[in-house]
Amino acid sequence: MTIHLSILLFFPLVLGAFGGLAPRGFAPSTLLVGSLVSLIYAVLLLLEFDTGAAGLQFVTSDAWIDDLGVRYSLGVDGLNLWLVALTALLFAVAALWITLRPPDRPKLYVFHLGVAETGVLGALLAQDLLLFVLFFDLMLVPFYFLIGQWGGGDRVGATFKLVVYTLVGSLLMLAAAVATGVTAGAGAEGGLSFDIAALAEAPVESSTQQWIFVAFALAFLIKMGAFPLHGWMPDGYRAMPLPVLAVFSGVLSKVAAYGFLRVVLPVFPDAAQEFETVMLILAVLSILYGSAQAFTQTNVRLILGYSSMAQLGFIMLGIFALGQAAGAQGALLQMVNHGLVVAPLCFIVALLHERTGSDDLREMGGAALRAPVLSALFLVVALATLAIPGSANFAGEFLILLGVFNAKLAIAIIASTGVALASVYMLRAFIRAMHNRLRGGTGSYDLSVRDGLVLVPLVVLIVAFGVYPQQALEHSQATVERVVAAPAAVAREASP
């Protein structure tokens, strides 16, 4: 059957709009139906994908705004295939979560989630640079409302900080994108050309590439929460409602990492080569700083946030091990893995909050006493996060480190310590929350069936992936090799 990416893209928005107009009680279920349909579509996409081919598949390409040279063009290849599936999965999980535990004002909540899902999918599927920037900016807007209206603590201040910080980077990226379009489209009719594939064929000249690279890198680094541009992260993570946090942490940061692979490396190979060391150092700093913070923080949300920072540092490491297909492959795998572990972790934070009334580790302990199932599931997720051998995270980190070893040895050695640090913070969190003495205010009861519906499928997926990570890798092989070829060619030219 022919798969139309536009349906996949706009279905969540349409159903979110319906949910916004539906009666209160039905709003979350409407979103659930919508995201399940998208999920099924994404799975079909996975099954129908032709693994051997290197180019874009299921392409939709229509003229949209000729005066601005913007085309409505979508496509799937090895880079975004699994991310699209991950997005559909995480939003379906969030929809299930809010169906089982409805928030107040569910209609608006559902509408914003629908817009968010369309925004993220659009950013992943877009093959036109301006379309990519449009969806990248758009996907943040519903989160402003979600955090500001349904968050906790200083939600208005936190969402303001988060959105402004991120949008500063994104707006710079907009200017850079227009500059790219103008420079590349100099010969084209209308003066502008934004098609990413075409841009990759004919990269912009070296000197202009520099500031454009910096603008894009800023936008993506801020979005990823890399050190030192992570100032929005602590407040944001503290304030976000947990279903929103699951999709935010699981998917949005991956779009930024994907943006590096899709846009920055192919279109600006010279600048990528020049800034390779800087980016690798920033990645290592993220890993070290994130891990250090994660094992000193007592707020479980912040532990989650800083651990994400460290994981994204690894992903960035893999991306910028230029010329090494292994690095990029590992990065792609880790993107999916991190998304898969972050969602259950957020849910477990919610469950712990229910049992202890707080997010603080110092007030937790002994929750495992009468909750063996919850404890076991949490342990699986925790071990997966710290990349125990046997999990897909291990495969991902191994590939990343392999790539970086071949590219820059010293950085790889320092980064390897990050693997050990991950064990420290993850096990600390697990032990202090679940083991030790049962504290006074802590209730210890096991997972209900309702909660199990959300948690168990995710854990099953984590285990399944751990058994066979190759399924994610083989899809992306051909595309990754093409993506890393451009900077590698530049590197070969540069070094005599």
Partner 1 sequence: MTVTGPKIDWLAISPLVALVVGACVVLLAGLMRASFVRQTLVPLLTLVTLGVALGLVIGTWGDSTSVISGAMAMDDLTRFLTLLFLVGAAASVLLAWRGIAPREAGHGEFYALLLCVVLGMAVLAGATNLVTIFIGYELLSIPLYVLCATEMRRARSLESGLKYLIIGSVGSATLLYGLAFVYGATGSTDFARIAAGTEVMAEDVLLLTGLALVVAGLAFKASVAPFHQWTPDVYEGAPTAVTAFMAVATKAAAFGVIVRFFDVAVIDASATWAPALAALAVVTIVVGNVGAIGQSSLKRLLAYSSVAQAGYMLAGVVVSTQLGVRALVFYLAVYLVMNLAAFAVIVARERETDVGDDISSLYGLGAARPLLAWPMTIAMLGLSGLPATAGFFGKIYLIDAAVDNGYAWLGVAIVLGSAISLAYYLRVIAAVWMRAPGERPVAAAAAVAAGPPRPAIAGGSAEAGADPAAVVAGARRGGGGGGAGGAGDGGGAGDDGGEPERRFAQPEVVGLALLCAAATVALGIYPSPLLDLARDAGASLTGLF
Q: Which stretch binds partner 1 (CB under 8 A): 147-155, 220-228, 265-273, 352-360?
A: 147-155
17: contact with partner 1 by CB under 8 A: no
Q: Which stretch binds partner 1 (CB under 8 A): 163-171, 251-259, 421-429, 464-472?
A: 163-171
**Which H, E and C letters describe 391-449, residue by residue?**
EHHHHHHHHHHHHHHHHCHHHHHHHHHHHHHHHHHHHHHHHHHHCCCCCCCCCCCCCCH
Residues 305-324 that bind partner 1 (CB under 8 A): none
Determine which residue in the list 102, 148, 152, 452 makes contact with partner 1, applying CB under 8 A.
Answer: 148
178: contact with partner 1 by CB under 8 A: yes
Distinct helix (H) and strand (E) counts, the chain: 22, 2
Residues 56-115 that bind partner 1 (CB under 8 A): 65-68, 105, 108
CA dihedral over 36, 40, 43, 49, signed as positive or negative = negative
Determine which residue in the list 33, 54, 59, 138 makes contact with partner 1, applying CB under 8 A.
Answer: 138
Q: Which is nearer to partner 1, 183 or 406 (CB)?
A: 183
Determine which residue in the list 35, 79, 125, 155 makes contact with partner 1, applying CB under 8 A.
Answer: 155
Determine which residue in the list 11, 109, 135, 268 makes contact with partner 1, applying CB under 8 A.
Answer: 135
Q: What CA–CA distance (Å, rounded) separates 59 from 273?
A: 30
**Within 13 Å and on the Cβ side, how many CA atoms surround 452?**
10
In angstroms, how far is the first alpha carbon of the chain from the final one?
50
Q: What CA–CA distance (Å, rounded) separates 478 from 390?
A: 25
Q: How far is the CB of 375 from partner 1 (least distance, A)?
A: 38
Q: Which is nearer to partner 1, 27 or 108 (CB)?
A: 108
Q: How far is the CB of 463 from partner 1 (least distance, A)?
A: 39
Is the Cβ–Cβ distance between 316 and 219 less than 8 Å?
no
Determine which residue in the list 100, 168, 285, 456 makes contact with partner 1, applying CB under 8 A.
Answer: 168
Is the Cβ–Cβ distance between 237 and 154 less than 8 Å?
no
Size of the site for partner 1 (CB under 8 A): 34
485: contact with partner 1 by CB under 8 A: no
Q: Which is nearer to partner 1, 138 or 197 (CB)?
A: 138
Q: Which is nearer to partner 1, 135 or 320 (CB)?
A: 135
Q: Which stretch binds partner 1 (CB under 8 A): 128-136, 372-380, 444-452, 467-475?
A: 128-136
461: contact with partner 1 by CB under 8 A: no
Phi, psi of 64 (to 5 degrees): -120, -70
∠ CA 161-163-167 to the nearest 5 degrees? 120
Determine which residue in the list 57, 149, 206, 477 makes contact with partner 1, applying CB under 8 A.
Answer: 149
Structure tokens at 310: 């460290």
Structure tokens at 84: 């699209």
Q: What CA–CA distance (Å, rounded) separates 495 from 208?
A: 21
Q: Which is nearer to partner 1, 140 or 367 (CB)?
A: 140
152: contact with partner 1 by CB under 8 A: no
Determine which residue in the list 22, 116, 129, 174 makes contact with partner 1, applying CB under 8 A.
Answer: 174
Helices assigned H by DSSP within 139-267: 141-150, 155-184, 196-201, 206-224, 233-239, 242-247, 253-259, 265-267
175: contact with partner 1 by CB under 8 A: yes
Tokens 């602590």 — which residue?
A: 234
Q: What CA–CA distance (Å, rounded) separates 363 from 338?
A: 27
Determine how many CB atoms are found less than 10 A away from the CB of residue 390: 13
Q: Which stretch binds partner 1 (CB under 8 A): 83-91, 164-172, 315-323, 482-490?
A: 164-172
188: contact with partner 1 by CB under 8 A: no
Residues that bind partner 1 (CB under 8 A): 65-68, 105, 108, 130, 134-135, 137-138, 141, 144-145, 148-149, 155-156, 159-160, 163-164, 167-168, 171-172, 174-175, 178-179, 181-182, 191-192
